[in-house]
Structure 1
Amino acid sequence: MRNIEWWWTAVSAIGAYLYLHLICRILGRKVLSQFNFFDFASAITIGALTTEVAIPTNEWKRAAVALGIFTALTLTLDYFIQKSPGLRSFVNSKPKMVIYKGQIDSQQLRKARLTLDELLTILRQKNVFHPGDVYCAILETDGQLSVLPKSDKMPLTLGDLNRKPPEKGMMNDVIKDGNIITENLRHAGYDDKWLQKKLREQGIQSIEEVFYAGVDGQGALYVSTRDRAGIESGNIYIQ
């Protein structure tokens, strides 16, 4: 009898896993950092209902139905949020400008339930140590703070000097774990002889020594070898 119960538990867990996977595919993907409070609460509720389905109790059928209804409601709400700006503002709230032209807006801080110390901490994490250096700071709906420094506090770029550097383009992975990815190498416009030559220029005699290698749009080859002794014994080792 117990063996049957264990098998039924395993089947229920697998079914709940597949059910959850299907729901996640239906709801779509969203980065965790983009979650607002409602998204976070919905994810917790879906997880709790899935647990009820995974464990075979007398209520698992009701939990499965509730999970389906919750998914349908989430999809319906997402649809109307996309169609209605007013509903979107109500559900997700609006971004709040907490700093404008170097002045902190205490009223917006209170509306966002953000303390002054929390604001200053976030600014320091963005390498801003003086609120007066900020032209505007906007608290986004996902809780992230977007900061635009004043023009005289921005770092100088080549664009400011009317110079345009060559584009490096995307990195093409040409070696992973000691194996050459021939298709990517050909796509980048190079062959094995070119790769071997570039590796020898960096003192690497064997492909097997390479953990990862990639080439950018300018033909520059980045190589990371398997040997980590220098890192582990050096000052940059982190416990």
Structure 2
Amino acid sequence: MFFDSGSTLLRTLVVGVLAYVALVALLRLSGKRTLSKWNAFDLVVTVAFGSVLATSLLSRDTSLAQGVMSFAVLVGLQWCITRLSVRFPTVERWVKAEPRLLLVNGRVLEDALRRERVTETELRAAVRSQGFTAMEDIEAIVLETDGAFSVIRQHGSTVSALCDVKGHEATGQ
């Protein structure tokens, strides 16, 4: 129970090191997008990486080659989906959530908050974290696709960065 054999520990050590090196190499080869901020799809792939690594390390029935092949399949699928999402907006909408406007011109959009399950307290925290002290100084707050808040201060000019944000028509620009 506490110790099976030296060969079991040696296998775990060797497979662990080699699987780790293979995973890092595959992630580096796949590009920055694989390691970007997470959306739901990225989270699933990351959890799957962890599962494959654990299985490769601890299961005698899974060879190192199977583990590395599993990593390669996941990285390949991630690459294909991100490539398709860049080329086809329908795929992007399927994989990623839309950014949503939560506050515009100092006015909280209550329906948007409810839909996104965000509180006004969280909005104020996002404003403070960006160094602002007054909600009136804020043109807009956007809940981004990765769950982060973007706080945009008032400039008095057109806010063209909001054109792809759900609810941007509330800005009147």
Bin of the TM-score, shorter chain as denominator length: 0.7 to 0.9
Name the CA shift for 1:74/1:31 in 2 (closer, same or farther; >3 Å): closer
Q: 2:94 & 2:76 partners in 1: Cα distance?
A: 20
TM-score (norm 2): 0.73
Alignment partner, residue 84 of structure 1: 88
Name the CA shift for 1:15/1:31 in 2 (closer, same or farther; >3 Å): closer
1:226-237 alignment runs, 5 A limit: none
Alignment partner, residue 134 of structure 1: 138
The answer to whether residue 155 in structure 2 is matched with residue 151 in structure 1 is yes
TM-score (norm 1): 0.55
Alignment partner, residue 122 of structure 1: 126
CA contact (8 A) 1:97 1:139 kept: yes
* Larger CA Rg, structure 1 vs 2: 1
**Which is bigger in relative contact order (C-alpha 8 A, separation at least 6)?**
2
Q: Normalized per residue, which structure has more helix?
A: 2
- How many percent identity over aligned positions? 22
Unaligned runs of 5+ in 1: 153-239
Unaligned runs of 5+ in 2: 157-173
Name the CA shift for 1:27/1:12 in 2 (closer, same or farther; >3 Å): same
Counterpart selection for 1:57 from 55, 60, 66: 60
Alignment partner, residue 8 of structure 1: 11
Alignment partner, residue 24 of structure 2: 21
Quote the RMSD (CA, aligned, Å). 2.6
Name the CA shift for 1:50/1:77 in 2 (closer, same or farther; >3 Å): same
1:89-128 alignment runs, 5 A limit: 89-128=93-132
Displacement of 1:64 in angstroms is 4.6
Q: How many residues align?
A: 152
Q: 2:85 & 2:118 partners in 1: Cα distance?
A: 26
Secondary structure of the 2:150 match is strand
Alignment partner, residue 70 of structure 1: 74
Deviating 4+ runs (over 6 angstroms): none
Q: 2:86 & 2:155 partners in 1: Cα distance?
A: 35
Name the CA shift for 1:33/1:19 in 2 (closer, same or farther; >3 Å): closer
**Partner letter of residue 11 of structure 1?**
V
**Partner letter of residue 137 of structure 2?**
D
